[in-house]
Amino acid sequence: MVVAASDTHEPGVYAGPCDICGDELYAKPGARVVHCRLCNVDYDVEPRRQKLLKKAESKLLGAADIARVLTGVGLKVTPERVRTWIAREQLKPAGIDRARRPLYRLRDAQRLAEQGPFKATRQAA
């Protein structure tokens, strides 16, 4: 059974913009398909999620932003979990922001979320 998704702007898994009209698409957690109501086009969520992560993987972010981005693409990661990785030196700083706060590479956090200790769980429907 395929779980359908809504493209309303309610909280959900961000699936990127529609390839045709550019409307922002949001899938329900655990959905396999997201539907653009403006263009009446369906998209598979997973390839879009992978594409978004690939584009963002080299970004340097703070702990809260890492949690928000990873959760936004379907990995349930809390800021507390990211801080645990930092405290255990599993996630190491890759830069600093203008306020001299440490920043971390999104790709490194994604790897921890998908396979490391305190593995993140996929959001279910």
State the CATH number of the domain containing residue 25.
Answer: 2.20.70
44 & 75 share domain? no
Query: What is the residue whose two structure tokens read 């992560």?
Result: 53
Give the mean model confidence (pLDDT) for residues 53-77.
Answer: 89
Q: How many independent structural domains does the chain possess?
A: 2
Give the mean model confidence (pLDDT) for residues 21-38.
Answer: 92
pLDDT (0 to 100) of residue 57: 82
Domain that includes residue 61, residue range: 57-117
34 & 75 share domain? no
What are the phi and psi torsion angles at 26 (to 5°)?
A: -130, 125
The segment with the largest mean pLDDT, out of 3-17, 44-58, 67-81, 93-107, is 93-107
Q: Which helix (H) or strand (E) holds 104?
A: strand 102-105
The identity of residue 56, as a single letter, is A
- Distances from the Cα of 50 to the Cα of 73, 75, 95, angstroms: 9, 12, 24
Cβ neighbours for 66, distance < 8 A, ≥ 6 positions apart: 77, 82, 104, 106, 109
Q: Report the chain's mean pLDDT, rounded to a whole number.
A: 84
Expressed in percent and rounded to 5, the helix, strand and coil fractions of the chain are 35, 25, 45
Q: Is residue 106 part of a domain?
A: yes
What are the phi and psi torsion angles at 36 (to 5°)?
A: -90, 115
61 & 33 share domain? no
